Amino acid sequence: MKNKLIFSFFSLFIVFLVLGCNKSKITSPNIVLIMIDDLNDYPEEFNGHPQAITPNIKALTNSGVKFKNAYSNDPMCGPSRSSMMTGVYPHNSSNFWQKSWLKNKVLANTKTIMEKFKENGYNVIGSGKIMHVNKKDMWTEFKHEADYSPVAYKGEHKKGKRGISHPDVPAPYRTIKELDGLNMAGGQIDGSYGPLKNLNELKIDGEKISWAYGGSRAYKEFRYNSEDDRDLTPDEINAKWAENRLTELSKSDDDKPFFLAVGFLRPHTPLIVPQKYFDMYPLDEVELANIKENDKEDTYLHKVSQFETPGRSVRSIEMFKNLVSSYEDSKEGLKRFTQAYLACVSAVDDNVGQVMKAINNSKLKENTIVVLVSDHGWTMGEKDHVYKNSLWEESTRVPMTIRVPELTKPGSIVEHPVSLIDIYPTLLDLTGIDNNTTKNEFGKPLDGHSLKPFLEDPNTINWTGPKAGLSVVYSSDKNAEIPSNHHYSVRTKDWRYIIYNTGEEELYNNSSDPKEWNNLLYNQTHPKRDEMVAILKEMTYPMVPNGLKFIDKH
């Protein structure tokens, strides 16, 4: 009996020792961040489009925690990424638009995720589009800069010379102009979609057409003869790099943890990927977004000024108008664009699959946190808009999934609204790193809240974060850096409230009106309005004194 007791105690000691060792192993876990550009809720499991084919994103989502209501804090590439990677809300930094975050006094003096992990002993490795403006010394190692190609190119390849739209795209869509000074590309990027194909015999204006690397300012030939004889796209290059680099890290004897970020460009425009992805979505079978006729009539983005410089316009309105007017049947343009977008979503899904293969088929699976997220969504014709940079569900909602070894339960779903601002504090919490992220008195502390309680229990009520996801859209160049000059939205679990800087308002009951078809504040009042205003004021105070003053006009 005594020997049995000794054996039992010894067995328990071994169990606790093993558990303790396992726990210590994940106190400094590796982190892989997969950033996808302009990806709305179309991937499988996020219920955005019934035809989307994304088995790899689906598998990753089902292996971790899916955040069903995750939102971008500023649905535009530059400010969204700088906010997420520094953990500071746009209204607290006054970084609302595409101006470099390095020129922003607050953000330049706040540690990025990369800098924070680097100073805490991590190898910080990256490639592709992570920040809209990269700073290489943030990284231990950085491989490929963001490249929006392949783009079509007319004439001699020369660095700095602009590309053109895909030759299959008709006018006026192909002629979308670049908005000077705003870092917003014209027809060669936003006005371009279609499959990669052989251009060897094609000429425009007597000049040879070819494919090129380098995005809007093409500079190097992209060789394409056929699908079996071509160069890799930038996303394919980054996927291969990530797969190889992760395989190397899994076989390394170096115990130093790593933070690896890989950024994929598609489905950012130009929506150009190999033909096989277009073949997955036959044009005559493509389903459009669930668009309600005249849906914009009780909304205000098309009525308020976004830019106060002649020649500038709301890009989403311009893109919609040009797209539908480029074909005899207005729906054809939307169908072709939707086909191209879906093709790009499936292409990037394959890229994600390569990354996850390297993790799942190695020892990294047991000690690597995986985060997959997009910087913002994209409208596909809803309310007569095609683009990002609006405050409705399609533009602000993003796919977000997090998988943490020995913590998250596969297939978990979080209904509570969260946002990109919460990624940074979550990763610090999961790795046991302090949350001091200011460099000096000019920097700002983290605005977000750790999502760890949701990772432990998706239905928890013990989260310290807000009731809503907060989003802002840049309004105009006038008073550009004044927070109260812009348009804001808060999205709770069941409701969305929008206020423009003119004082115009929108209110939607998303539980009964998920497509936001019925603005409950259009020429009428609603008892929910004041509660949503209070949430918005609380979330923007004190940087926006008394919340947004123009709210009080009502």
| Confidence at residue 546, expressed as pLDDT on a 0 to 100 scale | 46
**pLDDT, tens only, 95-128:** 999 889 999 999 999 999 999 999 999 999 999 9
Using 50, 70 and 90 to split pLDDT, how confident is the model at 527?
very high
In the prediction, which pLDDT does 26 show? 57
The predicted pLDDT at position 44 comes to 96
Ramachandran angles phi, psi of 426, nearest 5°: -65, -45
**43: Cα separation from own chain's centroid:** 13
User: With 70 as the cut, is the pLDDT of residue 297 above it?
Assistant: yes
Give ∠ CA 70-72-73 in degrees, rounded to 5. 125
Q: Quick one: which H or E segment has residue 470?
A: strand 469-473
pLDDT at 23 over 80: no
Rg, the chain, Cα only: 24
The gap from C-alpha 276 to its chain's centroid, in whole angstroms, comes to 25
- Give the pLDDT confidence score for residue 550 in this predicted structure: 53
> Backbone dihedral region of 436: left (phi > 0), alpha (psi from -120 to 50 degrees) or beta?
beta
Residues 6+ apart with CB under 8 A from 209: 152, 153, 154, 164, 167, 199, 202, 203
pLDDT at 19: 43
Residues 249 and 368: beta-carbon distance below 8 Å: no
Lowest-pLDDT choice from 203-217, 339-353, 374-388? 203-217
For the cut 90, the answer to whether the pLDDT of residue 371 exceeds it is: yes
DSSP 438: B
pLDDT of residue 404 exceeding 80: yes
- 473-495 average pLDDT score: 91
**Rounded Cα distance, 307 and 485, in Å:** 12
Q: What angle do CA 487, 449, 388 make, to 5 degrees?
A: 35
What is the pLDDT, as a whole number, of residue 478? 78
- Residue 25: pLDDT above 80? no
The Cα–Cα gap between 324 and 412 comes to: 40
List Cβ neighbours of 428 (8 Å cut-off, separation of 6 or more): 116, 434, 435, 446, 450
Closest CA to 393 of 409, 378, 373, 371: 378
Q: What percent of the chain has pLDDT over 70?
A: 90
Q: Which CATH class is domain 28-93+101-146+234-454?
A: alpha beta
Task: Give the model's pLDDT for residue 5.
Answer: 45
List the chain domain ranges.
28-93+101-146+234-454, 150-232
Distance CA(37)–CA(77), nearest Å, equals: 8
Mean of the pLDDT values across residues 524-550? 82
Cα–Cα nearest to 48, from 484, 345, 262, 272: 345
Please enumerate in sequence order all residues whose Cβ is within 8 A of that of 102, keeping only pairs 6 or more positions apart, or say none: 108, 133, 135
Query: Cis peptide before 270, with omega less than 30 degrees from 0?
Result: yes
Q: Model confidence over 255-285: pLDDT tens digits?
A: 899 999 999 999 999 999 999 999 999 999 9
pLDDT in tens, 144-200: 999 999 999 988 877 777 889 999 999 999 988 775 444 456 788 999 999 999 998
pLDDT tens digits, 177-189: 775 444 456 788 9
Structure tokens at 154: 């007319």
Q: Which residues contact 293 (CB under 8 A, 6 or more apart)?
A: none
Please tell me the distance from the alpha carbon of residue 254 to that of residue 390, in angstroms, as a whole number. 45
In one letter, which amino acid is 227? E
Kindly report, residue by residue over 428-469, the tens digit of the pLDDT.
999 999 999 999 999 999 999 999 999 999 999 999 999 999
**What pLDDT is recorded for position 544?**
62
Residue 2 has pLDDT above 50, yes or no: no
Segments of 88-183 assigned E as strands: 123-128, 141-142, 151-154
Share the mean pLDDT of the chain. Answer: 91
Residue 129: the pLDDT is 97
Q: Cα(488)–Cα(291) distance, rounded to whole angstroms?
A: 23
Amino acid at 86: T
Per-residue pLDDT, 335:
98
Question: What pLDDT sits at residue 312?
Answer: 57
Mean pLDDT of 324-331: 95
Among 487, 482, 502, 436, CA closest to 92: 482
- Reply yes or no on whether the pLDDT at 494 is more than 80: yes
Q: In this predicted structure, what is the pLDDT of residue 27?
A: 67
Give the whole-angstrom CA distance, residue 302 versus residue 71: 22
Q: What is the mean pLDDT of residues 513-534?
A: 97
**Per-residue pLDDT for 313 more than 80?**
no
